[in-house]
Structure 1
Amino acid sequence: MSVFTLAGLQLELDPHQNNFEHISAEVLSLKKRFPNLQMIMLSELCNCGPAPRFAEPMPGPLEDAYSELAMQAEVYLVTGSLFERDQERIFNTLSVLSPKGEVIARYRKIFPFLPYEEGVSCGEDFVTFDIPGVGCFGLSICYDMWFPETIRALTWKGAEVILHPTLTNTIDRDVELAIARANAATNQCYMVDINGAGKLGMGRSIVVGPGGDVVYQAGETQESIVVDIDFDYVRRVRETGWHSLGQPLKSFRDNPVVYPQYQKGAGSAALNALGPLQKPAKPDWSE
C-alpha cells in the first residue's frame, strides 16, 4: 500500500474541562464522513488542557476510553498527548491506539517547554512504530521539534512520517511553521503538525511533504485536515532527491565528520555562560 489516508483534528476545546465527549463525537463524525480514513490524530493535551493535576497512570481509565474510541471508529488513533503519572513523576505522553484498541506505542515528550511546563519530567526514548504493509511513523510532541536532533533520531530509526501534535497559542507559531518545513526537508520525511484552536491554541496546523513543500496549512479556527500520505513518494525523494535535487540523508550517512558536541564529556563554554534555565526575572526599575 502506497497511499495512507490520515486526518488531523484542529479542534476548539475548553481547557478547563474534560473534552472527551466532544472529541469522541468529532472523531466518529469524521470517520462517518470519510470512511476511507485509516488514522485520526489529535492535538497536544487536547483532552483536559495543560493541567498536570489530571495526570493518571498508563494504562488507565482515560487511555482505555481512547482505546474504545479507536475500536468504535476503526482507525489508528493518536491521542495528541495526555499527562501520565508514574509514581512521583508526571510525563506528557502520546499514545497510539490500533483499530483493535491495542496500545501500539507510547512516547514521553523529551523536551517539556521549560521553564514554563513546570512539574513535567523529560522522556528518554525515541519512539517509532510500523504499520505492516504501510510504513514507519515517528512520534514527537510540540517543543521537541525545536531540537533538530530529535527528528534526525526518528529518521535514523526509519521514520518516514513524523506525527507531531502541538499546543501553541503564542507569537512563535509562525516560527514553528518554518521549523516544521525545515525538519521535513532536511530529513526527507512528512511532518504532520496538528495544533489546537480556540482557547487551547491558535491553530495554523500544517502538513509538510518530504521536500519541505506545504501539503496543507490550516487557518486559526476548527478544521478537519484530511490528507493522503504517499509512502512511495517519500521513498523516491530519499532515493533520488526532491525534484532530483539534494539527498541529505545519504550525505549525512556517508560523511565522515565527527560532531564534537556529541562526544562523551564534551562541554561548551559558550553554552555554560548562558546561565540557568529559568523564567525571565522581573525588571528592577530602581536602578
Structure 2
Amino acid sequence: MSKFSLSALQLALPQGDNRERIAAAVASMLRRYPWVQMVLLPELATYGPGIDQAQPRGGEAERFYQQLAKQHGIWFVPGSLYEREGDRVFNMLPVIDPNGHVVTRYRKIYPFRPFEAGVTSGDQVVVFDIPGVGRFGVSICYDGWFPEVSRALVWRGAEVILHPTMTGTLDRPNELVIAQANAIMNQCYFIDVNNAGALGNGRSIAVGPDGDVLHQAGEQSEELVLTLDLQRVRDARRDGFKGLGQVLKSFRDTPVRYPCYNEAEQVSASLEALGPLALRERSVR
C-alpha cells in the first residue's frame, strides 16, 4: 500500500489554550472525511508563541493529544509545543500513533533567531515509519529555509516531509517558493501547514514530488485533505524529475565533499564577516 490520507488543518486560533478548539476541529473534519489517517497541525498552535507555556516532556498537552489520537484512531502530529528540560527550552514536535503512543519527538534545529529568543536548537533530524506506507520526516518553520535539513531527512529515507509553520509576516510568499523548492530538489511530498487568525497569515501549501501544488490555502481557516501516493516519490527518484534529472542519484554519486560540511573547514571568513545574529536596529540619520 503506497497511498495515505492526510489532513492538514489551517486553523484561525487565538493566543491561549487552544486544546479544546483543536479537538473540536479534528472531530468536525473527521465527520466529513472519516477515511483520513493522519492529522497535522501548525507550529505552536496549542498555546501560541511564548516560552512561558513550556511544559516538561510528556506534559499535560502531549497527554491530551495522545488521548485524542487514540480516541479517533489516527496518526496525530499536533504542530509543536515548547518543551522545558532543566533550564533549556526547545520547540518540540511529537508524533503520536493511532494507539496514542508517542513514536518520536523532534526538536527544531533552527529556532527563528533573534526573534525566537530563549529557545535552544535541537541537534537531530527525525524520521519515522508508517507500517505498510513509507517513511516520513518532520521539520518546523524556519528549518525549511535550510536545504540541509530536508536533504538530511531524505538521506535517511523520508518520502514525505511534514512541516508545521507559524508565519504571520510578509515573507510568507517566499516560504511557498521554498516549500516547492524543497519538494523539487528532494523529489518528495512537502506539506507546509501554517496558522491563520491571530497566530499566522495562512496560505498553507502541499507540494508533490514533481513540484506540483496539490493545494494552496487562503488566509482563513481551511482543511487540506490529501491523498498521498508514495509510489510517485519512488518513481520520480528512480526515473528522474519529470523523467529528466535523477537528482538524488547524482548527489549520492558525486565525488565532491563540500567544504562547508567538512569539520576541518567549518570556519568561513565570508560568513564570519557578517557580524553577530541580532535584531536589526533603526538607522539614525
Taking structure 1 as the reference length, the TM-score comes to 0.98
* Matched letter for residue 14 of structure 2: D
Hey, which bits of structure 1, 4+ residues long, moved more than 3 A?
Answer: none
Q: Please say if 1:185 is aligned against 2:180.
A: no
Please state whether the residue corresponding to 2:46 is helix, strand or coil. coil
Give the Cα separation in 2 of the matches to 1:281 and 1:194.
31
Paired position in structure 2 for 1:51: 50
Please state whether the residue corresponding to 2:154 is helix, strand or coil. helix
- Displacement of 1:43 in angstroms is 0.3
- Displacement of 1:281 in angstroms is 1.9
Paired position in structure 2 for 1:121: 120
Paired position in structure 1 for 2:10: 10
Q: Which runs of 5+ in 1 are unaligned?
A: none
Give the Cα separation in 1 of the matches to 2:123 and 2:71.
32
* Matched letter for residue 282 of structure 1: R
- Displacement of 1:284 in angstroms is 2.2
Paired position in structure 2 for 1:68: 67
Give the Cα separation in 2 of the matches to 1:87 and 1:77.
27
Please state whether the residue corresponding to 1:265 is helix, strand or coil. helix
Give the Cα separation in 2 of the matches to 1:205 and 1:223.
9
Please state whether the residue corresponding to 1:9 is helix, strand or coil. strand
Please state whether the residue corresponding to 1:94 is helix, strand or coil. strand
Paired position in structure 1 for 2:226: 227
- Displacement of 1:24 in angstroms is 0.3
* Matched letter for residue 276 of structure 2: P
- Displacement of 1:181 in angstroms is 0.4
Paired position in structure 1 for 2:273: 273
Q: How does 1:129-140 map to 2 (within 5 A)?
A: 129-140=128-139
Give the Cα separation in 1 of the matches to 2:36 and 2:142.
28
* Matched letter for residue 269 of structure 2: A
Give the Cα separation in 1 of the matches to 2:247 and 2:93.
29
Cα deviation code 1:9-28 (max 9, x no counterpart): 0000001x100000000011
Paired position in structure 2 for 1:23: 22
Give the Cα separation in 2 of the matches to 1:263 and 1:233.
34
- Displacement of 1:283 in angstroms is 2.1
- Displacement of 1:30 in angstroms is 1.0
Give the Cα separation in 2 of the matches to 1:251 and 1:211.
17
Give the Cα separation in 2 of the matches to 1:258 and 1:77.
38
Give the number of equivalent residue pairs: 284
Paired position in structure 1 for 2:206: 207
Give the Cα separation in 1 of the matches to 2:47 and 2:248.
38
Q: Please say if 1:90 is aligned against 2:52.
A: no
Please state whether the residue corresponding to 1:253 is helix, strand or coil. helix
Cα deviation code 1:222-246 (max 9, x no counterpart): 0010001101111001110132111
Paired position in structure 2 for 1:264: 263
Q: How does 1:159-198 map to 2 (within 5 A)?
A: 159-198=158-197
Q: Which runs of 5+ in 2 are unaligned?
A: none
Taking structure 2 as the reference length, the TM-score comes to 0.98
Q: How does 1:90-109 map to 2 (within 5 A)?
A: 90-109=89-108
Cα deviation code 1:35-61 (max 9, x no counterpart): 111000000000100111010011111
Give the Cα separation in 2 of the matches to 1:39 and 1:137.
12
Give the Cα separation in 2 of the matches to 1:73 and 1:8.
16
Give the Cα separation in 1 of the matches to 2:34 and 2:154.
30
Cα deviation code 1:60-112 (max 9, x no counterpart): 11100000000111100001000000111000000111110000110000000
Q: Is the 8 A contact 2:168 2:201 kept in 1?
A: yes
Give the Cα separation in 2 of the matches to 1:106 and 1:177.
25
Paired position in structure 1 for 2:140: 141
